[in-house]
Structure formats: C-alpha cells, structure tokens
Amino acid sequence: MCGIVGKLNLDGMEPVHPQLIKRMKGEIAHRGPDGDGDFLSGPIGLGHRRLSIIGLESGAQPMSNEDGSVWVVYNGEIYNFRELRTELEVRGHTFKSDSDTEVIVHLYEEFGVESVERLRGMFAFAVWDERNQLLLLARDRVGIKPLYYANTGKALVFASEIKSLLVDPSVERRVNPRAIDRFLTYYYLPGEETLLEGVYKLDPGHYLTVNNGRITKRQYWDLHFQVSPRYTSFDEAVEALQTLLRSTVKDYMISDVPVGVLLSGGVDSTGVLRYAVEQTDKRISTFTVGFAKEDFADERPYARLAAEHYGTLHHEITITAKDFFDFLPKYIWHMEEPVCEVPAIALYYVSRLARESSVKVLLSGEGGDEAFGGYGKYRNLVALEGLKSAFGPARGSLRFMLERIGAIGWKGLTKYARLVDRPPSEYYFSCASTPDTPFNLLKQVLYKKDFGQSLGGPSDEPTRRLYRQLNGLPLLHQMLYVDTKTWLPDDLLIKADKMTMATSVELRVPLLDHQVLEFSASLPPHFKVRGWSTKRILKAALRKSVPSEILNRKKVGFQVPYGRWLREESKDFVYDTIFDKSSPLRTYFCDAVLLQVFQAQQRGEEVSQEIFALLVLALWHRQFLNGTPATA
C-alpha cells in the first residue's frame, strides 16, 4: 500500500521538474512513510511513497524491467502475484525483487495494456513505456484504491490523492457547481467528477492510456449478473462459497508484516476473522471502536464475543464528541471528496490504534452487504415489487393500505407507499438519498438563482443512467449492481482507503475480491434474499462456525451519535462554520433556508445528515479553495 504521483507533458518534449514531483510526493507522505523514490525521463515524471508490506528489502519504487524501458509506480496488492511470477519466469523474464510490484512490469512487457485483466487484487498504478512513449494508468475492478487525474491541456497530472494534483499550478482550483448539487442529492459524489472542475477519478475497472498526446479511456471489467446453471442446489452453492472464502482470505493474508482484523461485531467481519484464524499459527490481533457515554446499540459486546470465540488479541478504543470534532478538519483534508460518512472518523481512530499496536495490515468485512444482499432496503423493495405484482391494477389500494399502516405507527411504510406508482429506477432514493430529504424538497428555494441556473441536467442522473441499462434483470440484481458501481466505490471504499492510509495502515477487503463478486452475481436472487432473510447464503456458509448470537442478531449498522453532538456540544462550531460571513455556502444558498434547516436540527428533527453535509462543504471550501489545509 503506497501513494503514487506523476505528470506527463503532452508535447513529448518538455521535461518535468524534479521539485514538482518531490512536492507532490510530500502531500501524501502519510500513505508511504517507509520510503520514497522518483523517475524522470524527458516528458515523464513518476513519484512514489512506500508503505512496506511485501518484499520489505527489495520493493522500492519506481521499479523497472531488466533494461529500464518499462517503469511502474503502484499502490495496492496483487494477490495472485506468485502464480503470475511463475508464469512469467517460464516465459524468460528475470526478477530482481520479491515484491508484487515487479510482476506488473513484466506482465506489461508480455501482454501490453491487456495485462490489467490478469491481475487479481486492489491497485492503482502507472506504467511508463519508454520505447513507445506510452503512459498507462489503471484502477482495480471495484475501486478499492483511488486514482485521480487532470488534463490541463498541456499535461496529464495524476496521483493517489487530489491534494498532490493541486501542487501543480496548472491544475486550477475551480469549484464544480454540478458536483455540489449532486453531493446534496447523494451525500457523496457518484461517478468520475469531483468538486473541482477538471479533476476526475479514473473509474473502477478502467484504464487510461496516453500516446502521442492522445488520451484514451477503456473499461476492462464489469460485473455481470447472469445466473449460472451450475448452482441449482442451494447446499452445493453454500459449499462452493465456503471453499471460495477460505482460499480468498488465505490469499489476502499474504504479508511480510503482521495482519489484524477490524471487528464490527457483525456477520461480515466475523466471517472474515473465522477464515483468517485458519491461515496462521500466530494469534491474530482484532480491533473495534465505540463511543463514550452513549445509550444506543453498542457493537463492542459482539466484537468481544467474536474475539473470545476465536482467541484473538483484542483491542478496543472509545472516542468522545471532542475526539470527533477535533479530527473533523483533518477528516475533510484526508477525504478530499465531500462524503457524509460519519463512521469514517471512528475508522481513523481504530486504524490508528492498530498502527500503534504494530499492525500495518487490517482485514475488513466491508462489502458483504453489497456482495450478498445484506441491507434491509433490498429485502423491503423486493417485497414491495412482489406486492405490486399481486395487487396488479389495484395498486391504489396497496398504496392506501401502506399509508394507513404508516400513519398508525409503522412510519417506515410511508416512504414505500410513495413508491407504489414509481419505477424501480427511483427506488434507489427510497433508502439512499431520498427525494423527501430537506435538501431535495427545498432545492427550489435553497439555491440562489444564479447557482441554480448553472447546474444543467438532473442531479440523480448517475444512478438513473445505470438503472436504464439493466432492464430485464431481477430487481435485487439491479440494486446490487447500482450500489456496486456507485455507493461502494464512491462512498464506502473512499472512506476505507483515505482513513486507514491517514494512519499509514493498509486495509484489505476480501469480500470484494472480484471472484467473490462474480460468484455471487452468478447465483439466483433467492439465494441471497428470500422473504425477510438477507445475506442468506453467506449466513448459511458461516452457520456452523460463527456464534449464533452474531449470526442471528438484527442488523443495526455502525451508529455514531453525531446528531446530538451537532445539536449540543458543537452547536456554536456548526453555526459559526456554516454562517460565517466569508462562508462560500452563502454564495450558493439562501441564508433564510439554511437557517431553517439549522433550526430544525436544533429542535431535534431528523436533519443531522443535512447539517453535516453543510459542515463538510464549508470546511472543504475553506481547505481546498481558500488554502487553509488541516494537515495531519
């Protein structure tokens, strides 16, 4: 796990200044405190910051082939590198290191840009082909590792983090108004755009090439939901999943430094731990986090249960409101993209605890819900479709029934009543970014006229576009696909990467291995969700080896009491940040409407996410446009 930077001058002539690469590397020193290097040749400059995980003594980057004609800088882990190395040695390639990095160089020599398709793992890398004057940028299939770039017209600048791009004075700091609108719709930014005009994310499962000044982007992988006739028996599929999980976690344990496990007390992280303990004769360290003096569901007792069951060396940390808000400016600085992912701050603290405990690699259960259908929204919306079919032309009666039950006491049914007459393409917003949030209801009056007129198309186009491509797929598979292409890489995985790397810790997510995702995609929907059961096949695979208290507990998610904190301990900080006279928010939004939202939150109404979104936007502008970074 590392950080990469680089610049290619498109005229093929002008050299890259060494000091620029040095400064770009300096911005991401937290990603690689164990070493740094660079390579400059004519129009190309490559830089690298290293976190030593595999090949501790011989894995320095940039790394080249035998004659120095191909160079690579790389961030990530290739889990099949040993098999690839054996194949490449048979083909005559000579290796000078024990690291997985060198496999990328020789694989490129052998297969060119198609070499990306042979890699299994998480990665973002740049390959420079000196002979052909070709630059290849590539990102892993799911988007576990980030990669940003900007085309200035004269050069392509790229890096693991946006802050490195901004070191180059040719990369302008201009806000993207469409992205602000989109952020207030989703509370993260799906797709390739960022909050900075002209700065993009390389999409997951894509690579980009630059040759003779021509920039080309291509998708090399997608997740295809096509039920395989191989698994007609649920029990046979369970056995196949057990075998796949065992081999996957074994591969993800490859490391020359200690590996630990993040425990949430849920099925996914406990399942990862269950297979991890099989792969080592050493006692595994586990880590969990909780909050001080809070009276809501606490994950820690379940994490302790799992730790005791598997005999781990367990560590816990408790954080307070003060810890939360002390780190908030640095949260913005490290995240770089506006994301309302409040648990990310807890992830920072627990990752720091792991680092202080001499653990540099952590396994996580991230992605189990998206892979196997774990969210309640999947179950509820599939059930709604079934009811709509059963009621047929009498859907009005269904809507009335749901509204009445919701009014009597089960308020959650009210939002489903509103979806009875809507197509599945609008289901995404029923539970993720609903059309009934204050921002979406108030946009017509929230936005100042000039700002509103600058936005262009609809803010929810990224997910609507994906749904339009999925006609004919079962509803569950439509939802899993859209979440895997948007919510997962642009919210959860951004959080996972940025917060762990802020502490110089590598996070690995075995349940998002592309072979696990492809296996799940080949199964019929009812193997994953049936009736009120979610993650059905994963729970069946773990039933004999995970404590029943964990396996059968109600899913509650990781709760953070930030609503009360925003309303009480940090009320003044929130108000001063949002309503400061120099706040850029006041150039986009009407003060009176902002005040309505703030006052609603103070009354205890459910608008904490909206307030946190405003806080994130204000702090982001302060740091990335006004030049007052909160360095970590």
DSSP states along 418-458: TTTTS-GGGTHHHHSS-TTSHHHHHHHHHB-HHHHHT--S-
CATH 3.60.20.10 residue ranges for the chain: 2-179+188-219
Q: What is the pLDDT of residue 621?
A: 93
Domain boundaries 2-179+188-219, corresponding CATH code: 3.60.20.10
How far, in Å, are 47, 168, 392 from residue 40 at the CA level? 9, 16, 67
Least confident of 174-178, 202-206, 257-261, 393-397: 393-397
């899993």: which residue's tokens? 480
Residues in contact with 396: Cβ distance below 8 Å, sequence separation at least 6, in sequence order: none
Residues in contact with 250: Cβ distance below 8 Å, sequence separation at least 6, in sequence order: 275, 278, 279
Q: What is the pLDDT of residue 439?
A: 62
Q: What is the pLDDT of residue 320?
A: 87
d(CA 500, CA 505): 5
d(CA 450, CA 510): 46
d(CA 153, CA 593): 40
The chain-wide mean pLDDT, for the chain, equals: 91
Least confident of 34-38, 109-113, 581-585, 587-591: 581-585
d(CA 90, CA 72): 22
Q: Quick check: helix, strand or coil at residue 192? A: coil
Rounded to 5 degrees, what are φ and ψ at 543?
Answer: -60, -40
The DSSP symbol for 486 reads T
d(CA 294, CA 329): 23
Rounded to 5 degrees, what are φ and ψ at 522?
Answer: -90, -5
What are the residue ranges of helices labelled H in 277-375? 300-310, 321-335, 343-356, 368-372
Whether the CB-CB separation of 7 and 128 falls below 8 Å is answered with: no
Whether the CB-CB separation of 111 and 103 falls below 8 Å is answered with: no
Residues in contact with 290: Cβ distance below 8 Å, sequence separation at least 6, in sequence order: 298, 299, 300, 316, 317, 318, 319
How far, in Å, are 147, 336, 598, 620, 628 from residue 329 at the CA level? 22, 11, 20, 9, 10
Mean pLDDT value across residues 434-445: 62
The token duo for 82 is 């040993």
The token duo for 302 is 């379940």
pLDDT one-digit tens code per residue, 134-143: 999 999 999 9
Q: Quick check: helix, strand or coil at residue 512? A: helix
What's the pTM value of the predicted model, to 2 decimals? 0.94
Mean pLDDT value across residues 70-87: 96
Q: What is the pLDDT of residue 432?
A: 46
Q: What is the pLDDT of residue 561?
A: 76
Q: pLDDT band for position 424 (50/70/90)? A: confident
Least confident of 59-63, 333-337, 347-351, 535-539: 59-63
Least confident of 94-103, 337-346, 452-461, 568-577: 452-461
Mean pLDDT value across residues 386-410: 84
pLDDT one-digit tens code per residue, 264-308: 989 999 999 999 999 998 999 999 998 876 556 677 899 999 999
CATH 3.40.50.620 residue ranges for the chain: 223-438+455-560
Among residues of the chain, what percentage have pLDDT more than 90?
A: 66
Instruction: Indicate whether 441 pLDDT > 70.
Output: no
Mean pLDDT value across residues 215-223: 98
Q: pLDDT band for position 437 (50/70/90)? A: low
Q: What is the pLDDT of residue 296?
A: 60
Which positions are catalytic? 2
Q: What is the pLDDT of residue 443?
A: 76
Whether the CB-CB separation of 264 and 271 falls below 8 Å is answered with: no
Residue 24: closest CA among 158, 145, 124, 150: 158
The token duo for 372 is 């196997």
Instruction: Indicate whether 457 pLDDT > 80.
Output: no
Looking at the structure, give the CATH architecture of the domain made up of residues 223-438+455-560: 3-Layer(aba) Sandwich (3.40)
Q: What is the pLDDT of residue 632?
A: 47
Q: What is the pLDDT of residue 295?
A: 58
Mean pLDDT value across residues 472-480: 93
Sign for the pseudo-dihedral over CA of 310, 342, 537, 222: negative
Whether the CB-CB separation of 477 and 526 falls below 8 Å is answered with: no
Residue 414: closest CA among 433, 439, 436, 394: 436
d(CA 555, CA 408): 25
pLDDT one-digit tens code per residue, 296-345: 667 789 999 999 999 999 999 998 888 988 999 999 999 999 998 888 99
